[in-house]
Amino acid sequence: MRALLFAFALLAVWPACAPASPTADAAAARHERGRAIYNFRCYYCHGYSGDARTLSATFLDPPPRDFTALRRDPPPRQRMITVVRDGIPGTAMAGFGNILTADDIAAVVDFVRREFIASGRPNTRYHTAANGWPNHERYRDAYPFATGQRPLDTPDEELDDAGRRGKRLFLASCISCHDRARVNDEGPLWEPSAVSWPRKNTCCNVPPPDTISGASVFARHDIAPPLVDPSPQQRRGEALYQANCAFCHAADGTGRNWIGSFLEPHPRDLTDPVFMGSLTAERLIQVIEDGLPGTTMPAWRHVLTREQIAAIVAYIDRAFHPLARRERAD
């Protein structure tokens, strides 16, 4: 009898003294909270299903982590929490310690470990009616191009009717998000010259000069001025300017090309005698190195060397307008 009474007493106090374990509902809710955080903060680089197959991933070096490749050798949980909290220097992985709480970080890490590393699940389907895709199946013919199973530059004559239809669908609708797709020939990664000229002067209603053969009112600004007997430094500067600066400032330095006309504020007109007459070479070098906050002028100090920037300045001084000469102290 005494033993039975002791058992009842133990049962009466057990919930108060035993550590509480999360219920199935609470665990499921926490998992979904981790999913919501991942889908809001992480998918853009790591992909909806953790495989890093995203447009942004193709431009990042090193690329984002493919969580689905970690199933055989998953990193320690605490290591993943530290990475999410502090980031990884030298990569695009930023730290979220000032954005997410410690519990949020743990929740998203646990979601990744369970959803992608342990289970390899596809996560949330993006193409749902709630996201504006009420009948995504109508794009089925485009799936091979969106998933990379079929190269986008496959010639039409090598495609069947469904393939040609899918290619048209992809180019008309899917390419906005699946921009890179897969191609057999990548071509140049970046073409630093403005090539998208309006062909009928639709923006300005100004007849082009006969010398431009009707190309556009912008085309004249994408012709570099000829250099007569340039120095080796000026010739190097010409190549560097036309490869890096002409995209915004135009080949003739006016900033009146197609791209420059759409930027706000407009790129500086390097042929303007008032501005250039007061600009020294030293100041121009500083602007190129550091950029101009609040404008589209970026900093180039990590792209071009000091010698390359000096060559560009020497070219600008020779080709567009002489720079101001700094007076020497007596």
| Structural domains in the chain plus CATH codes | 25-118 (1.10.760.10), 129-176 (no CATH), 210-319 (1.10.760.10)
Per residue in 255-272, pLDDT (tens digit) is 998 888 878 888 999 999
What is the arithmetic mean of pLDDT over 171-197? 66
Mean pLDDT check: name the lowest of 16-25, 225-234, 237-246, 283-292: 16-25
pLDDT of res. 180: 67
Higher pLDDT, 149 or 231: 231
For the stretch 74-133, pLDDT in tens is 999 999 999 999 999 989 999 999 999 999 999 999 999 999 999 888 777 778 776 677
The helix-helix angle for 102-112 and 24-41 (nearest 10°) equals 90
The separation between the first and the last C-alpha atoms of the chain, rounded to the nearest angstrom, is 112
Inter-residue long-range contacts of 242-246, CB under 8 Å, 24+ positions, other chains counted: 242/193, 243/192, 244/192, 244/300, 244/303, 244/304, 244/312, 245/312, 246/192, 246/193, 246/194, 246/222
Whether the pLDDT of residue 161 is over 90: the answer is yes
**pLDDT above 80 for 62:** yes
Euclidean distance between CA atoms 151 and 54, whole angstroms = 16
Band of the pLDDT at 206, cuts 50, 70, 90?
very low
Residue 126 per-residue DSSP state: S
Confidence of residue 21 (pLDDT cuts 50, 70, 90): low
pLDDT(10) > 50 = no
pLDDT at 252: 95
> Quick one: pLDDT band at residue 31, thresholds 50, 70, 90?
very high
Which of these ranges, 109-113, 232-236, 281-285, 294-298, has the smallest mean pLDDT?
Answer: 294-298
| pLDDT(25) > 50 | yes
Using 50, 70 and 90 to split pLDDT, how confident is the model at 29? very high
